[in-house]
Amino acid sequence: MNAIRAFTSFSGRIGRRGFWAGIVTILFLGSMAKVTMTPDILSDDPFTALVKNWRNMGAKDVLIYLAMLYPAMALVTQRLHDRNKSGFVAALFWAPALLQAATIIVPGIAVYLGQIHWGLGLLLAWIGAVGIWFFIELGFYGPREPNKYGINPRDD
């Protein structure tokens, strides 16, 4: 499987090695884009600069995260296919994670969820639990035999 297809296609299967290599690549490129667009992160106090930048998130930051989201969703879908599961299972993780991201970007949502503490706590617990499940699910081998999503990626 070529790299471009791995980052753009929602069909087929991808093995563990390709999945983790893709995720690391996305995180690296996203981090480099963030650092080049926010040079004050490289200052004497990078933590304060990063917190200040999160509070003043603009359109360029949203574009970086959206650019990272599409290939990440493609990789997760293909990895779920390798585990013989539908890509729609990823919605268990992506929906609450996107809601959490919206609480950072749109202040009104954070204020609303802050007023109902159980809502924010439930959201964070859900993201954590599903995140652990995804880490376990996506980090192990899929079935060796071909499934309805294609042949074993190790046979490619």
What's the mean pLDDT in 136-155? 76
Place of tokens 């069909």: 11
The gap between the terminal CA atoms of the chain, to the nearest Å, is: 7
Q: Which long-range contacts (CB under 8 A, 24 or more apart) does 66-71 make?
A: 67/30, 67/33, 68/26, 68/27, 68/29, 68/30, 70/7, 70/8, 71/7, 71/8, 71/22, 71/26
Which residues have a Cβ under 8 Å from the Cβ of 40 and sit 6 or more positions away?
A: 49, 52, 53
Place of tokens 């563990």: 16
Q: What is the pLDDT of residues 74-124, one digit of tens each?
A: 998 998 888 888 888 888 777 776 766 666 666 555 555 556 666 667 777
Predicted local confidence at residue 136, as pLDDT: 84
Which range in 8-22, 30-44, 108-122 is most confidently predicted, on average pLDDT?
Answer: 8-22
| Domain extent at residue 121 | 3-155
Buried b / exposed e over 43-79, threshold 16 CB at 10 Å, is eeeeeebeeebeeeeeeebeebbeebbebbbbbbbbb
Instruction: Answer with the residue of higher pLDDT: 17 or 124.
Output: 17
pTM score, whole prediction:
0.72
As a whole number of angstroms, the distance between CA 113 and CA 150 comes to 42
Total tally of structural domains belonging to the chain: 1
